[in-house]
Amino acid sequence: MFLDGLDELDQKIVSLLIQNARMSYSDIGQQIGISRVAVKNRVQALEEKGIIEEYTTIINPQKISGAVSCYFEIETAPDTFTEVAELLRQNDTITQIYRVTGKSKLHVHAVASSNEEMENLIYNTVDKLPGVVECSCNMIFSRIKDIKGLRL
């Protein structure tokens, strides 16, 4: 199990927060048999250790009219990899960047408000990146499975 490094109470707390990050400390405490204050202290310790990174609202771009979501696979020359990654990181249309196995490869996810915005990203950012050896783009039609963070 992924949570083996945590004691049993912390595992239960994390599991409940993954199911519902808005769950109150009181509700968590009632479900696992400890006080609200003890839950709060444990959650704060998990946050301070970096185990819990953030609480966020996730917007499904496919539910917003006109939103376009694409994945790019970008291979760069080794000497331009860092510069390319930084240029992409600075672009607000790009939501995720991963360094993946292979020769200086980046896996990049972008969500645009329209086809025009995605086209602008491609022509004015991606096409102008220095040292790109190869680039492919795949448009996402539908989400079949999308797990955020840690699987339990």
Domain map (residue ranges) of the chain: 8-48, 61-139
59: amino acid identity, one letter: I
Q: Look at residues 143, 134, 132 and name the one whose alpha carbon lies nearest to residue 77.
A: 132
Tens digit of each residue's pLDDT (9 = 90 or more) over 80-126: 999 999 999 999 999 999 999 987 799 999 999 899 999 999 999 99
Q: Which CATH class is domain 61-139?
A: alpha beta
- For residue 146, what pLDDT band results from cuts at 50, 70 and 90? confident
Task: Locate 24 and state its tokens.
Answer: 């109150």
* Confidence category of residue 19, pLDDT binned at 50, 70, 90: confident
What is the reported pLDDT for 79? 94
CB atoms near residue 122 (< 10 Å): 18
Is it the case that residue 142 has pLDDT exceeding 90? no
For residue 44 the two structure tokens come to 């704060």
Residue 1 pLDDT: 45
CA separation for the pair 132, 34 (Å, rounded): 55
Backbone dihedral region for residue 70 (phi beyond 0: left; psi -120 to 50: alpha; all else: beta) = beta
pLDDT tens, position by position, 31-69 = 999 999 999 999 999 999 998 988 877 777 777 777 899
Is pTM beyond 0.95? Reply is no
Q: CB count, 10 Å around CB of 9?
A: 15
Confidence tier at 151 by pLDDT (50, 70, 90): low
Domain 8-48 has CATH 1.10.10.10: yes
With cut-offs at 50, 70 and 90, classify the pLDDT of residue 152.
Answer: low
pLDDT value at position 139?
Answer: 92
115 to 26, 119, 122: CA distances (angstroms): 46, 6, 11
